[in-house]
Structure 1
Amino acid sequence: MARRSNNFCILASILVVSLACQNAQAQIHDITKHGAVGNGKTDCSNALVAAFKEACASPTPSTILIPKGNFYVSQVTFNGPCKSTIGINLQGNLVAPTNPITPDPKSDWFNIRNIVGLNVFGGGSMNGQGKTAWDKKLKGEKLNLMAMFSLAFVTNVDIRHVTFTQSKNTHVHLFGCKNVTFTSVTIDSPAESPNTDGIKMGVSSDIKILDSNLMSGDDCVAILTGTERLTVVNTKCGPGHGVSVGSMGGTPNEKDISGIHIRNCTFIGTDNGVRIKSWQDKYVAIATDIKFEDIIMENVANPVIIDQEYCPAANCKGKAPSKVKISKVAFKNIRGSSKTEDAVKLICSKLEPCRNVEISDINLTFNGGKAISSCANVKPILGGVLIPQICSKPIGVKI
């Protein structure tokens, strides 16, 4: 009797393990099972959406598998909410159309919305095939180009070991997101690609960018209105326009930018290094509690800059001063080389002078001679070794 009982227990255990394995297998949603073909030509948008709907309906965590291969995607949107967390195992390459115009011009190329719990991993890539769009834009054509990978109202996100390349516009866009971490992410577009921000965010909080490499034709990281508690650590930027807070004050009722911490990062050949910028005149906004520290600059055009006279169209002469309030800013332990003589620029607003700006341990050399700094409407708190001397060339009103 004991032997029969033991045999029954063994059989029951095998059955339980078998069922568990079947359930685990059922939680992987392979897009090729829904008709996707990795030949770089067949549109796999419907297959992606079908796999997502299955995963989204699962009461337990599910993963969408994109195996090795080149999967052409015209445009896709994943809409939550979902019953559990979603994983995207991106082993292959998702390839966008070369045509600059997306099927839905009001939507980005790859959209994920209203999900709690998202993991993107696998070592694969998203390729925006942006060259045709860049060429048209550089020739002056007016194009309504969309971002490549867009997250809206997504919470608890982990993105790691994924490459975003050749976007027609912004590579990764966050709006209304919370608790998002990028680890070992690569953004890869050339310096001449216009408006290809690396990671752009607004109205989002608790964002981390770690151990990443951001190469683009615009800001490596663009920090817009409503961004709170952003940390960027051990990340390379360049080519590109550097890390930018703003521009601010361009629209009414902007939410505050606060809690920005950029540290242990390297900027290589960028048009700017660490930058805070706001429009002249226009609207009220606040940027506060911003720290840039332990930064290496390699041949950077404007390594340290606050620019409250931002005007890329060059038609702002005679306009009223910026109404943006900038306070509690720290530039600490920033060293390396400047491509321009003015290695440090602190050009603040006459109407709203910068408050509590701390500068310490700066060592920036100018390749063509002696570096200088310029200041307007700011009285920085100085400390440590300062090369160049800070505010050696005052501009406007010093306070």
Structure 2
Amino acid sequence: MAIHSNLISLLFLATAITILTISPPTSAATRRPQFNVVRFGARPDGRTDSTRAFLTAWTRACGSRVRVIMLVPKGRFLVRNMQFTGPCKNRSIFVRILGTIVAPNNIWTTGNSPHWIEFHRVDGVTISGGVLDGKGAALWACKKAGRSCPNGATTLSISNSQNVVVSRLTSLNSHMFHMVINFCHNVKLQGVRISAPGNSPNTDGIHVQFSTAVSIVSSKIATGDDCVSIGPGTANMLVDKVTCGPGHGISIGSLGKDVNEQGVQNVTVRSTTFVGTTNGFRIKAWGKPSNGFARNILFQHATMYNVQNPIFIDQRYCPDRNCADQVKKKKKVTHFFCVFFCYA
């Protein structure tokens, strides 16, 4: 009985030591400093222009030498065009969005900028949660009426950056493309939600070009154009567990618009679901000579419901009347496609 009692004591002591060992330290030095946009003058009323407050919070976060959080709390924050620029003094900035960031109602306020929110030359940034509301309906209506309209802006652009994560972010009603990844390396988009009406023009969900090691996983995309579009210069890309619809499907291209052009290679698209889309998997190339290419492309394990063109390879792509003449000419297409399709 004494031995049993001693054993219990020893086990209790070992457990206590283990708990003390793995319990996280609670000193203030281990907590990330927070730069709350409200502290710098942002107003969560959806009416007050909070652009300067956001940029000030970013400048402080970017200038810190330790891991930091840029916090957008609950509420609705109105902002104009913003560019969050690096390089920063630290390589771990966590942009935590709890509320909704809204664009101005006036469609002319984007000026000449093609981007509403842009992260440029950053390294080690995570953008998590929240909603970006582009309020694109007014611009779509302007274009539909045939009036003189601004070009519109991409909601979220990540350019010339690396080691970026976009997680559980929702993009609504973008003017143009919802998200663009351009000249980047190692970007992961996970749990992203994108929503725009099926008749909204040029509202591609996620566009990737001139980038390597980009992954889009566990996301839902409903839009008026391509759910995911993959442009020249893209390599080593993964699209996994993405639901698309409405929209034009997942597209590679258009390719070959220029004579000298980087190709697309090593792209895997798997475990996707398409509902009510124009296309499923599409590769599109202009009907003229080019050294562009699509190589080592794998499409597998797709589920499609009410899809007009499940698989579509178009080497005479012509999006408008201006290119009709060159497509009619019987020029040699120099693209080489090596594609494997696998349905489950």
The bucket for the TM-score relative to the shorter chain is 0.7 to 0.9
**Structure 1 position 98, deviation (Å):** 2.4
How many residues were matched structurally? 315
CA distance in 1, matches of 2:155, 2:110: 14
Query: For the Cα contact (< 8 Å) 2:110–2:152, is it kept in 1?
Result: no
Q: How does 1:221-300 map to 2 (within 5 A)?
A: 221-281=228-288, 283-300=290-307
Percentage of pairs with the same residue: 35
**Structure 1 position 136, deviation (Å):** 1.0
Q: 2:165 matched to 1:155?
A: no
CA distance in 2, matches of 1:135, 1:165: 16
Partner of 1:201: 208
Query: Structure 1: 5+ residue runs without aligned partners?
Result: 1-16, 335-399
TM-score, scaled to structure 1: 0.76
Q: How does 1:150-229 map to 2 (within 5 A)?
A: 150-229=157-236
CA distance in 1, matches of 2:216, 2:164: 12
Query: For the Cα contact (< 8 Å) 2:114–2:152, is it kept in 1?
Result: no
Q: 2:95 matched to 1:88?
A: yes
**Structure 1 position 234, deviation (Å):** 0.8
**Aligned partner of 1:106 among 97, 106, 113:** 113
Query: Which one has more relative contact order, counting CA pairs under 8 Å at least 6 apart?
Result: 2
Distance 1:193-1:322 versus aligned 2 partners, 3 A rule: farther
Encode CA deviations 1:335-358: one digit per residue, 9 max, x unaligned.
Answer: xxxxxxxxxxxxxxxxxxxxxxxx
Q: How does 1:135-146 map to 2 (within 5 A)?
A: 135-141=141-147, 142-146=149-153
Distance 1:32-1:259 versus aligned 2 partners, 3 A rule: same
**Structure 1 position 107, deviation (Å):** 4.0
Query: For the Cα contact (< 8 Å) 1:308–1:322, is it kept in 2?
Result: no
Query: For the Cα contact (< 8 Å) 1:248–1:324, is it kept in 2?
Result: no
After superposing the two structures, state which structure 1 stretch, 52-61 or 310-319, moved more.
310-319
Query: For the Cα contact (< 8 Å) 1:278–1:322, is it kept in 2?
Result: no
CA distance in 2, matches of 1:66, 1:56: 15
Partner of 2:340: 330
Partner of 2:57: 51
Distance 1:166-1:103 versus aligned 2 partners, 3 A rule: closer
**Structure 1 position 333, deviation (Å):** 1.4
SS in 2 for 1:36: coil
Q: How does 1:70-81 map to 2 (within 5 A)?
A: 70-81=76-87
Which amino acid is the alignment partner of residue 71 of structure 1?
F
Query: Structure 2: 5+ residue runs without aligned partners?
Result: 1-24
Partner of 2:18: none
Which amino acid is the alignment partner of residue 246 of structure 1?
G
**Structure 1 position 251, deviation (Å):** 2.4
CA distance in 2, matches of 1:143, 1:243: 27
Q: Give the RMSD, CA atoms, in angstroms.
A: 1.6
**Structure 1 position 121, deviation (Å):** 0.9
Query: For the Cα contact (< 8 Å) 2:290–2:335, is it kept in 1?
Result: no
SS in 1 for 2:300: strand
Q: How does 1:116-131 map to 2 (within 5 A)?
A: 116-122=123-129, 124-131=130-137
**Structure 1 position 86, deviation (Å):** 1.3
**Structure 1 position 235, deviation (Å):** 0.9
After superposing the two structures, state which structure 1 stretch, 201-210 or 279-288, moved more.
279-288
**Structure 1 position 63, deviation (Å):** 1.1
Which amino acid is the alignment partner of residue 247 of structure 2?
G
SS in 2 for 1:116: coil
Distance 1:289-1:134 versus aligned 2 partners, 3 A rule: same
SS in 2 for 1:140: coil
